[in-house]
Amino acid sequence: MIRNPILPGFNPDPSIVRVGEDYYIATSTFEWFPGVQIHHSRDLANWRLIGRPLERASQLNMLGAPDGCGVWAPCLTYADELFHLIYTDVKRYGRTTTAGASGASLRDFHNYLVTAPSIEGPWSEPVYLNSSGFDPSLFHDEDGRKWLVNMLWDHRAGKNRFAGIVAQEYSPTERRLVGERKVIFEGTPLGLTEAPHIYKRDGWYYLITAEGGTGWNHAVTMARSCDLLGPYELHPDTYILSSRLRPDAQLQRAGHADLVETPGGETWMVYLCGRPLPNRGRCVLGRETAIQRMVWGEDGWLRTLDGQGLAELNPEGPHLPPHPFPAMPVRSTFETGLPIDFQWLRSPFPEELFSTTARPGWLRLFGRETIGSQFRQALVARRQQAHCYCAATRMDFEPEHFQQAAGLVAYYGGTKFHYLHVSHDEAVGKHLRVMSALPDSPQADAFTPPIPLPEGPVHLRVEVDFERLRFGWSLDGESWEWLPQVFDASILSDEATAPGLPNFTGAFVGMACQDMSGAGLPADFAWFDYEERGYRP
């Protein structure tokens, strides 16, 4: 059996490709750097993270990008002995204002292509494609021609923002789009038509899209045509996968799909989903990736195995030899660099933010801008991938005044976090407290009373059980003191938001350091533990 989601925690917008006996999934990373997560499997059930290809400033520079922008919806394909990776770099999402929609419909979506002979790289410099919309996908036709499809954004007053799916030919020799752009599919009444992928089977061009938005009304729509440029006829059931009519389903928000075929001819669909907290309706783990088998009917249309179009929590596995990977260790150390599970925010210049060589064996974070900054923020974190977990670290940090802080953070974005940090002020001296950014509270920021600390290292710990979050600290790493407050972990979710703000990522846990004075006082971290576990009442 497969245990869904196969990529737990923030891993949305999956694109899958098979090369020989190897399968690869690319997922969105938004404002987290490096860009695009790529996972590898040989049996479709067991997956491991193997890399992030967008790692140079020439490929991706997100300094100043608002929360929820950055890298959207990559598409990974293989043709002509090359991997092709298409991605969107979103610079502006727009905002809804109290005065109206002035500028709120304007968006900047820049679409690029990079290629590599191997999934490990080296990945090329990017080729700019267009900025007409997001969710670009590259289709390699049997005649050797290549086509880019993406959703079309229409900012004009009174128009449908999601104006349909457009196609345009891409010339690999000229490294640009050629010919005319054509709208090939306008979508269904469900609306919000996006995430196109094209496949060819038995002479038909099949188009799948996502509709209904990436929330509770999400769905996978299918259409087909004998001509790539249309017209396209809708699937008899219109939507081939969705959870929108099943509020009791454990996998919600199902949509944004891609297809892959095994050597034995089985068709499998990967798609994003969300697992809301019990009785809270909030997906702290963000949008995750699930998979299930699909079947082609005698009428030439694709359906789920039971024909009901529902997401499966534990589908039967494929007819492939099992290929598990070793479990990741609980403790991450920094002797050989930053472990692969960790990312940072926006900047293609990590040497400005942290070092694993300045103090060998330790992660040194240089005090930079405020937590939540959209530019140079020294925050290194990993995904929360289970509803119940504990994380801990040992920190050396001796602040001199109130503008210097460092510690352990449970983080979603600049307006949603709980931050257990060490700082200093003239009244208490060195101390420990929690700062929370609360998106659903009239009080934007909240602080717990300061706890005096002596000089020397301190151990910091967080325990999360669904919507309950608690912090602890220790001087020796054995005897723990727990803060009396119980914090709301559910704010670290897409659904906890102010109107008009994009929310597409998920909860992270990690280490941070600020020095608003500009002195750059560093904090050193010896290791980082992350352990998933069962619920503790």
pLDDT of residue 500: 59
pLDDT of residue 537: 72
Please, are residues 274 and 280 in contact by the beta-carbon 8 Å criterion?
no
Residue indicated by tokens 């608690």 = 470
Q: What is the identity of the amino acid at 373?
A: S
Q: Which residue in 31, 43, 135, 194 is the catalytic one?
A: 194
Low-confidence ranges of the chain (pLDDT < 50): 96-102
pLDDT of residue 97: 41
- Number of Cβ within 10 Å of residue 206's Cβ equals 21
Q: Tell me the H-state helices in 231-388.
A: none
Sign of CA dihedral 152, 31, 282, 241: positive
pTM of the model: 0.96
Q: What is the identity of the amino acid at 261?
A: E
Alpha carbon of 390 to those of 190, 430, 512: distances in Å? 40, 25, 17
**Which of 351-376 are b and which e, b meaning 16 or more Cβ less than 10 Å from the residue's Cβ?**
eebbbbeeeeebbbbbbbbebbbbee
Q: What is the dihedral of CA 396, 401, 403, 405, to 10 degrees?
A: 20
**Which of 149-169 are b and which e, b meaning 16 or more Cβ less than 10 Å from the residue's Cβ?**
bbbbbeeeeeeebbbbbbbbb
Tokens linked to 270: 């990967």
pLDDT of residue 412: 97
Backbone conformation region of residue 265, classed left if phi is above 0, alpha if psi is from -120 to 50, else beta: left
SS3 4: coil
Tokens linked to 166: 């457009």
pLDDT of residue 450: 97
The Cα 27–Cα 403 span in angstroms is 37
Residue indicated by tokens 């293989």 = 78
pLDDT of residue 503: 85
pLDDT of residue 103: 60
The Cα 470–Cα 172 span in angstroms is 53
First to last CA, the chain: 29
The Cα 19–Cα 34 span in angstroms is 24
The Cα 67–Cα 88 span in angstroms is 15
pLDDT of residue 501: 67
Percentage of the chain lying above the pLDDT 90 cut = 92
- Number of Cβ within 10 Å of residue 22's Cβ equals 13
At a CB cut-off of 8 Å and minimum separation 6, what does 103 contact? Answer: 94, 95, 97
Q: Which residue in 13, 89, 312, 524 is the catalytic one?
A: 13
| Burial class of residue 307, CB neighbours in 10 A (0-12, 13-18, 19+) | exposed
Cite the beta strand spans of 306-444 per DSSP E: 331-332, 342-345, 354-355, 363-366, 378-383, 388-396, 404-413, 416-425, 429-437
Please, are residues 83 and 76 in contact by the beta-carbon 8 Å criterion?
yes
The Cα 194–Cα 212 span in angstroms is 9
Please, are residues 164 and 151 in contact by the beta-carbon 8 Å criterion?
yes
Please, are residues 249 and 243 in contact by the beta-carbon 8 Å criterion?
yes
pLDDT of residue 99: 40
The Cα 156–Cα 162 span in angstroms is 11
CA atoms within 13 A on the CB side of 205: 21
At a CB cut-off of 8 Å and minimum separation 6, what does 201 contact? Answer: 296, 300
DSSP structure class, residue 368: B
- Number of Cβ within 10 Å of residue 303's Cβ equals 19
- Listing from the earlier edge strand, what are the strands of the sheet with 219-225? 194-201, 204-211, 219-225, 233-242
- Domains annotated for the chain, with CATH where assigned, are 15-304 (2.115.10.20), 331-532 (2.60.120.200)
Beta bridge partners, 424, equal 430
pLDDT of residue 530: 98
In the residue annotation, 261 being an active-site residue is answered as no
Report CA 302 to chain centroid distance, whole Å: 28
